[in-house]
Each structure stands twice: as C-alpha cells, then as structure tokens.
Structure 1
C-alpha cells in the first residue's frame, strides 16, 4: 500500500460528520502527528480528489473552509459491515428509538441505514428485522418527557471530554429556573427519564439532574472535578437511583406465596438473597436491600401475595399506605 493511500485513509478517519467540521490546517497538523509531512496545498488537492469519491462537503460559509461528511451519508467505509454487526445495529435501533431524543438518533441514522442496506443486499431474512421487533418498557406506558437534543449533546460532550458545563435548570422544588455549573460524572437512562449524575458548583454531594428539566446548556473548557472514589455502578447499586428514603440498608424478611417465586428467582432483590421453602405453597426470603421508594411500591403491589416478617416498622409503613388507599377508594 502506497504512502498516498495510507494518507488518504488517515484523512478520511479524521473528518467528522456535519455540522462538525475540520479545516485543512487542522488536517495537516493531524497528519503530521501520524508521520505524514505534507504541505497545505497538497491536502487541499487531496480533499478535492476524495470528495469525488466520498460524501465530503465543504462549508463555504467559513474561512478557511471546514470539511465534513454529509450529515445524511451512510458510513459505508472499510471495513464493511458483516451480518452480525448489522444485526447488532438493528437491535440497537429497536431499543434506542423509544429512549433517545430525535436529535441524538439523527447522529446514528447513517449507521442504522447502512445496517439495513447490508441485510437487504445479502437477501437475508434478518432484513425484515425492523418489522418483527418491538421494545415495550415495563410499567405504565406514560409518554416520555421531551429532552432538548442540544442539551443532551452538550452534556454528553462535557462528560466525554471531562469538562464542566452550565445548565439552565428548573428543579421541581425551585420557584424559577437557575443557571448552574455542573461537573458531570455519568448519564443514566432509567425509563422514561435521562439523568445526569453530577456535582453542582457550590453544593455538596452527588446530585441527579433530570435532563428534560434543562432548557439550555453551554460547554465550558474548565476541567470537571475528578472523583477518584466515584464509581457509577456502585452508585446505582447503593440504591441512589431508587429515591432513597433512609440511609441505612434493610434486612428484609418475607414469606411469599408460590406465584411470586419465579419472579424472585429470576430477578433477585439483592446479591445476598436466600430462599428457603416453608411449605408446598409458601417460601421464605431473606435479603439486604436499600430503603427506596421503588421497594415500597413493589411491596404494596405484591401485598396480596406476601407477608413482611421484618422489619416491623416497614410492615407498619406499608399497611398504613394500603389502609389509606382502601379508605380513599371506599369513600367514593
């Protein structure tokens, strides 16, 4: 393979998709970092040649011109998609389409289209996959709050580049929107919401911001605060995403009817869950869990099928809620 061919491939990998662009000067610097010593005029000629074969466009409204791949172009570059990769992208499309805002999905559209073209080109039965797969989220099918695509894009960039960003944010308990500066630690998609886990300047502790409550975002070049002791998985497993009602874990003991067994076995309530048979119709569960709103909801929903043996205060709290519900409905 000639040096010119290698240079072409390197350049093509450096060019972003529109609306992001890159100038010939920046391409020259990038090529220099890869060991290619070429002048600006050579790069300009290369771009002209490559644009005849690849979907490259020049933004003539800027000086110097910014180069990019056409926003609607497919990504049919080397190496070509094989069937497993195409199927994976089709699965991703089925799952992500109901979760992500449309602006975020537009960035993935060329990859999804290439996957579909690959399946159709090879006359593979998987080409019918989009018509045969649906994603239904568990629970009440409420409409997802609208997330500003520009906000999600800037927050994602701040997270990847480890930079601070400013958000115009309206928390539920605030009288009016505020402009806050945040240090992003991670994004969590917990249907139907997208959460930014972060620290807010001037405030203690790790916070969760629901992105649909942010109306504007600005990326800052200041580096985000490093948190070496923060792990996103540990944060989730601590119960923080379940609306903690108390800081102390609960040693939960339940006596459950047989219909609950399959659910408990397939989706354990905790890592240390122990199941002991009591009779042909009942079993005993002992597990350590976080005291979250989700746990309370689950216990109330399963109340006809289980007894809360311990702790007593949790049983009393659930009974109080259920009695209040019965009295309300009986009073209609």
Structure 2
C-alpha cells in the first residue's frame, strides 16, 4: 500500500462523526504526530478528494472550516460486520437502550443499524433475534429524566481531556440555579439518572451532580484538580451512591426463605458473602455491606421473606418503618 493511501486511511480515522468536528489545522497537527509532514493546504486538498468518495460533511460558515462524518453514515473504516459481531452489537443495543441517555445512543445508532442489516441478510435465523430478546430493569419502571444534549457532550469531553467545566445547575436544595465550576472525576449511569462525580470550586467534598438538573455548560481548558488516590470503583463500593447512614461498613446477617431469596446465592451482596446453616426452607447469609438507603429500602421490601439477625439496630429501624407504613394505610380505611 502506498504512503498516500496510508495517509488517507489515517486521516479518515481522525475525522469524528457529527456533531463533533475537526479542522484542517487540527488534522495537520495530528498527522504530524503520526509521521506525516503536511501543511494545512495539503490537508485541505486531501479532504476535498476524500469527500468525493466518503460521507464527509464540511461546515463553511466560519473559518477554519470544520469537517465530520455524516451522523447517519455507518463507519466505513471498519471491516464489514460478520454474524457474531452483528449479534454482539444487537445484544448491546438491547441492553443499553434502557440505560443510556438518548444523546449517547445516537452516537451508536449507525453501528446498531448496520448490525440489524447484517442479521437481516439472507435466510438467517439470527435475524429474528431482535424480536425474541427484551431487557427488563428490576425495580419500579420510571421515565428517565431528559439530559441536556450539550451538557452531556461538554461533560464527556471534559472527562476525556481531564478538563474543568462550568455548569448552570439547580440542586434540589438550592432556591435557584447557580453557575458553578466543576472538576469532573467520572460519570455513573444509575438508572434512571446519570450522575457526574465531581468537586465544585469553593465547596468541600465530592458531589454527585444529576446531569438532568444542568441546563447550560462550557468546557474550561484548565486541568482538573483530582486527588491522586481517587478511584471511581472504590467510591462506588464505599456506598457513596446510596444515602449513607454510617461511614463504616456493617456486618449484615440474615435468615432467608430459600424459595424467595435463592437468587442471593447466585448474585452475592458482597465479595465476602458467606452462606451457613442451610436447610430445605432457609439459609443464613452474612455479608459486609454499606448501611445505605438502598439497603434499607430493600430490607423493607423483602421483610416478609427474611429475618434480620444482625445488626439489631437495623432490624428495629425496619420494624419501625413497617409499623408506620401499616398505620398510614390503616388510616385510609
């Protein structure tokens, strides 16, 4: 393959899909890093040639012009999908559609369409797969709050480049929206919400910012002030994503009805979960967990199928909540 062909392929891989764009000077700089020494005029000539054969778009409303792949075009720079790859993408579509914001899904839509077209070719039994697979989230099915598309774009770019960003944000406890400078640490998709884990200039502590409460955003090309020891997984496992009633983990001990709670043996509550004293009707479960609001909600919901053996205070709190709920419902009679 000639050096020119390799250069063309390299350029095409660098051009993003709309609405993201790139300019000829940015391409020239990126190509230099890959060993191609071209001036901006040569890059512009290459772009003009490539646009005759590939679905490239150019925005000439400002200078320098910006280039991108058509948003609806499948990625022409990857080999044609085979059946296993198409099936994998179709599975990803089924699983991700209920979880990701619509704007995030839009970036994957061309690939999903290509996968569906591949599965639908010929008399292929895999083509019937989309009609035979569904993903159901456990818990109450609620409508996902709408995340501002520009906010999501800004936040994801800030995370990728390790930059700060400005948000116009309305927390539930704030009387009105405020302009804040944030240092993004990570994104957590916890259905139905998307949370930006970040710190806010002038305020202490790591915050969980629900992105649907942000209405405006601006990328700030200044590097994030991030603690060297921050780890997103450790942050989640600490119980921080649930309202913490105690910063110390608790040793939870339950006696569970086997018929209704057998799934806990297959999907442990913690890495150190231990099952003991198993009979035909019951088993005892011990696990180190965070004392979170989610845990307490779950214990209340499953109260008719388990006994809280330890800690005692958690059993008393559950009983109190159930008694209050019972009294409230009785009052409606």
After TM superposition, the score normalised by the length of structure 2 is 0.93
Deviation for aligned residue 1:189: 0.8
Match in the other structure for 2:274:
274
Distance 1:228 1:289 in 2: 26
> What pairs up with 1:74-223 in 2 under 5 angstroms?
74-121=74-121, 123-223=123-223
Distance 2:178 2:218 in 1: 14
Match in the other structure for 2:247:
247
Q: Matched residue of 2:241: which SS?
A: helix
Distance 1:324 1:134 in 2: 38
Gaps of 5+ in 2: none
Contact 2:183 2:199 in 1 (8 A): yes
Deviation for aligned residue 1:207: 1.3
Match in the other structure for 2:298:
298
Contact 2:164 2:224 in 1 (8 A): yes
What whole-Å deviation, never above 9, does each CA across 1:267-326 have from its counterpart, x for those lacking one? 222222221125432222222211111111111112122222222211111111111111
Q: Matched residue of 1:116: which SS?
A: helix
Distance 1:10 1:280 in 2: 63
Corresponding residue pairs, total = 332
Distance 2:309 2:67 in 1: 67
Match in the other structure for 1:232:
232
Deviation for aligned residue 1:40: 4.0
Distance 1:165 1:41 in 2: 33
Distance 2:283 2:41 in 1: 78
Match in the other structure for 2:18:
18
Match in the other structure for 2:262:
262
Contact 2:261 2:305 in 1 (8 A): no
Gaps of 5+ in 1: none
**Alignment pair present for 1:326 and 2:326:** yes
Distance 1:105 1:40 in 2: 34
Match in the other structure for 1:284:
284
What whole-Å deviation, never above 9, does each CA across 1:137-169 have from its counterpart, x for those lacking one? 111111111111211111111111111111111
Contact 2:97 2:105 in 1 (8 A): yes
Contact 2:13 2:77 in 1 (8 A): no
Contact 1:101 1:148 in 2 (8 A): no
Deviation for aligned residue 1:122: 5.5
Contact 2:59 2:67 in 1 (8 A): yes
What whole-Å deviation, never above 9, does each CA across 1:33-87 have from its counterpart, x for those lacking one? 2222344444333222211211112212122322221122111324332222222
After TM superposition, the score normalised by the length of structure 1 is 0.93
What whole-Å deviation, never above 9, does each CA across 1:93-137 have from its counterpart, x for those lacking one? 212222223222222222222222222345532233333222211
Distance 1:117 1:100 in 2: 22
Contact 1:163 1:183 in 2 (8 A): yes
Deviation for aligned residue 1:184: 0.9
> What pairs up with 1:1-40 in 2 under 5 angstroms?
1-40=1-40
Over 3 Å counting, the alpha-carbon distance change for 1:33 and 1:258 in structure 2 is closer
Distance 2:307 2:21 in 1: 62
Match in the other structure for 1:67:
67
Q: Matched residue of 2:308: which SS?
A: strand
Over 3 Å counting, the alpha-carbon distance change for 1:280 and 1:118 in structure 2 is closer
Distance 1:290 1:38 in 2: 57
